[in-house]
Amino acid sequence: MFDGESSIPAGDFKGTVRDIRQITETVFSIHIACPVISRLARPGQFIMIRFPNRSDPLLGRPLAVSSAGGDDISICFQVVGKMTALLSRILPGEILSLRGPMGNGFGLPSSTMVTMVAGALGAAPLIFAYNRMPQNIGKNFILGVADRSWYPFCEWIKKLIPEVRFFSEDGIIGKKGTVLNGLGEELSPEEEIWTCGPLPMMRAIGQKYTRGRERIRVSLETRMACGMGGCQGCVINTLKGKKRVCVDGPVFSAEEVCWDDLKG
Ligand SMILES: Cc1cc2nc3c(=O)[nH]c(=O)nc-3n(C[C@H](O)[C@H](O)[C@H](O)COP(=O)(O)OP(=O)(O)OC[C@H]3O[C@@H](n4cnc5c(N)ncnc54)[C@H](O)[C@@H]3O)c2cc1C
Ligand code: FES
């Protein structure tokens, strides 16, 4: 599935909110009962989410699947605008419209060690990837956050991934610095990096290594309108031509992304 193979959206479903948990002032996690998406979802895929009885916001918003098991999936998000504000006030039993699972996902590792590098909410798809990693593959998880306000989020992640290493810009959580401080000078041939987070972070990781960039998988978060390949609203430039993040991605090889053309 990885490396440019387009995916076909699985379909439109209704999901019933099981529970909602507030993690920080602005970060929330929701469990949603949706058996088909739960069964089909693979790490790195996302859902387009809407409210069935609201025309505003009209367009769905992409959110990564952060876990899938039994009948349920979970999402984890930060309130940044109208949709996420509405989601933060949702109650158990309410119904959401879900389209998915969408996108290519991270696929299977081609090395024996995967280092997952998350910036803040970029942890969402990587939590799923970490927990679904085949047992014979070694794994690390590095999370970078801005400052102490992320402490409850880091505590929450630590419960899900006890081995996580933290970096914060003020040094209050984990080591002082950015996730780049947690990465080696060279990428060994047995190792690959999967990353998701703010664009400057992924660009820095994508451009850090002169050798081995093809072993860095980046999950891009462009704005999306249709989410299913029709509107060209999420197109990026790659060395293999123009690609749509919603159906050709969101996971790309760092080697193929034209980083200087991406805004942000
Ligand atoms: C594949 C994918 C997976 C995602 N997974 C998650 C996730 O798991 N958790 C999560 O919290 N968010 C995730 N996002 C980001 C999320 O979809 C956006 O933040 C979404 O727009 C929020 O909707 P809203 O209506 O609350 O805010 P909006 O009104 O849509 O946006 C609020 C503000 O954020 C800006 N903005 C929105 N999206 C972007 C963007 N891509 N780049 C730069 N600025 C932007 C807008 O310009 C606006 O100023 C993901 C995005 C993609 C593409
Ligand atoms: S969001 Fe419409 S083509 Fe990707």
Ligand 2 contact, 103 CB (< 6 A): no
Ligand 2 centre to CA of 62 (Å) is 11
Tokens 């290493």 found at? 165
Ligand 1 centre to CA of 94 (Å) is 22
Rounded Cα distance between 135 and 114, Å, is 12
Tokens 């703010």 found at? 198
In a domain, 5, yes or no: no
Whether residue 41 is found in the same domain as residue 155: no
For residue 167, the domain's CATH number is 3.40.50.80
Q: Tell me the two tokens of residue 105.
A: 């996902």
Q: Give me the amino acid identity at 187.
A: L
Output the average pLDDT for the chain.
Answer: 93
Whether residue 66 is found in the same domain as residue 120: no
Omega of the bond leading into 9 within 30 degrees of 0 (cis): no
- How many domains would you assign to the chain? 2
Q: Of 102, 126, 145, which residue is a domain's last? A: 102
Instruction: Please state which of the ranges 4-8, 110-114, 235-239 shows the lowest mean pLDDT.
Output: 4-8
In a domain, 194, yes or no: yes
Are 227 and 249 contacting, i.e. CB atoms less than 8 angstroms apart?
no
pLDDT tens profile 130-164 = 999 999 999 999 999 999 999 999 999 999 999 99
Ligand 1 centre to CA of 136 (Å) is 34
Which spans in the chain are helix H?
35-40, 82-88, 123-131, 151-160, 199-208, 245-248
In a domain, 188, yes or no: yes
Whether residue 135 is found in the same domain as residue 255: yes
**pLDDT value of position 49:** 97
Q: Which ligand has the nearest atom to the CA of 230?
A: 2
Q: Which ligand has the nearest atom to the CA of 244?
A: 2
**pLDDT value of position 9:** 52
Strand 27-33 relative to strand 72-78: parallel, antiparallel, unpaired? antiparallel
Whether residue 155 is found in the same domain as residue 36: no
Whether residue 194 is found in the same domain as residue 133: yes
Containing structural domain, residue 122? 113-261
Q: Give me the amino acid identity at 221.
A: E
